[in-house]
């Protein structure tokens, strides 16, 4: 009975925390984006060299977009001449880095984990963006047009701050409603793991002493359709049961970076070789980050 009560308590406490975080951070981000029209972002990303990659990764880390918004924006960047490498940095960073993910990591796993995660993934987005461009992957972009995504200069954005704030909250609520099912699934699975999964089993197969736990966790994460907001509560429960923080991070990055709908949409604008390269990039990011986390 105590285990059941602890499981239920865990579910409701974590759900309440994530709800407040998601709505609060999403509202702030949506409000900021109203003051940063996409056309200006595209101009900034058009800087040649690593500065363009930096801005692409930074914009990706600020935008809590799903695949339906990320993919049209990706093609829009390429169509107006944004460097391929900067666009790839955006593609890599967008699903893995946003204020909501960082806020959840901060609240549930601590400041050190959140900062380390940001540095590793942000650095990987810049590095692999540069590599993909310099290896000639830009020739693997299909000639396809997709419309939609995000705020543009032509959107009806109110002038008054209160109206902007209200619209930002409405958008945040819409985004929250869209991921609520995934969040509840993640917290529910996390609560079950927290309450009932034997600690010795986790330690045996995914503990700090198992060198192969990290690549295996990354491979397991890749085919899963799992958002970071779903994966983090699960990862927290696994950590509390003894799973190494590196394996947890590999699972989160592998799963969140390779959402099946996003890869399917990427296949519509990129050739198979480039999609495979992006899969490899996410896998390497997951594995490298996992081992770094375990070392520190």
The domain spans of the chain are 2-146+160-295
Residues in the chain: 296
Which tokens belong to 295?
A: 């070392």
pLDDT (0 to 100) of residue 102: 82
What's the pLDDT tens digit per position in 195-240? 776 666 656 666 677 788 888 888 776 655 556 666 677 777 778 7
Task: Report the distance separating Cα 292 and Cα 281, nearest Å.
Answer: 16
Task: Report the distance separating Cα 200 and Cα 5, nearest Å.
Answer: 22
Helix (H) or strand (E) holding 283: helix 272-295
Q: Output Rg (C-alpha) for the chain, integer angstroms.
A: 19
* Spatial CB neighbours of 200, under 8 Å, sequence gap ≥ 6: 242
Task: Report the distance separating Cα 188 and Cα 185, nearest Å.
Answer: 5
Q: Would you say the pTM of this structure is higher than 0.75?
A: no
Which tokens belong to 61?
A: 């880390």
Tens of pLDDT along the chain (296 residues) come to: 567 887 788 788 878 877 887 788 778 867 876 776 666 767 777 777 788 899 889 888 877 655 555 666 777 677 777 888 998 999 889 888 877 778 878 877 888 888 999 999 999 999 999 999 999 998 888 765 444 344 444 456 777 888 888 888 888 888 677 667 767 876 787 678 667 766 666 566 666 777 888 888 887 766 555 566 666 777 777 787 788 888 888 888 887 777 665 676 677 778 889 988 988 998 899 899 999 998 87
């Amino acid at each position: 009975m105590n285990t059941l009560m602890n499981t239920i308590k865990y579910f409701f406490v974590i759900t309440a925390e994530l709800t407040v975080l998601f709505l609060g951070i999403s509202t702030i981000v949506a409000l900021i984006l109203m003051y940063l029209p996409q056309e200006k972002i595209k101009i900034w990303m058009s800087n040649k060299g690593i500065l363009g990659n930096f801005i692409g990764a930074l914009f990706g880390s600020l935008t809590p977009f799903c695949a339906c918004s990320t993919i049209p924006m990706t093609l829009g960047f390429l169509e107006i001449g944004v460097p391929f490498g900067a666009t790839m940095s955006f593609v890599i960073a967008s699903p893995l880095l946003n204020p909501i993910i960082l806020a959840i990591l901060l609240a549930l796993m601590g400041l050190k984990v959140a900062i380390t995660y940001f540095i590793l993934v942000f650095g990987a987005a810049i590095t692999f963006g540069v590599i993909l461009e310099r290896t000639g992957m830009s020739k693997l972009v299909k000639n396809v047009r997709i419309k939609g995504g995000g705020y543009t200069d032509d959107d009806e954005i109110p002038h008054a701050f209160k109206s902007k704030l209200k619209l930002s909250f409405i958008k945040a609520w819409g985004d929250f409603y869209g991921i609520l099912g995934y969040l509840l699934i993640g917290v529910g699975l996390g609560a079950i793991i927290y309450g009932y999964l034997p600690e010795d089993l986790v330690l045996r197969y995914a503990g700090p002493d198992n060198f192969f736990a990290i690549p295996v966790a990354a491979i397991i994460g890749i085919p899963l359709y799992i958002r970071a907001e779903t994966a983090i509560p699960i990862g927290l429960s696994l950590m509390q049961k003894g799973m190494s923080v590196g394996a947890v991070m590999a699972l989160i990055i592998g799963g969140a970076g390779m959402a099946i709908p996003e890869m399917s949409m990427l296949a519509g604008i990129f050739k198979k070789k480039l999609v495979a390269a992006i899969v490899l990039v996410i896998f390497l990011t997951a594995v490298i980050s996992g081992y770094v986390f375990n070392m520190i």
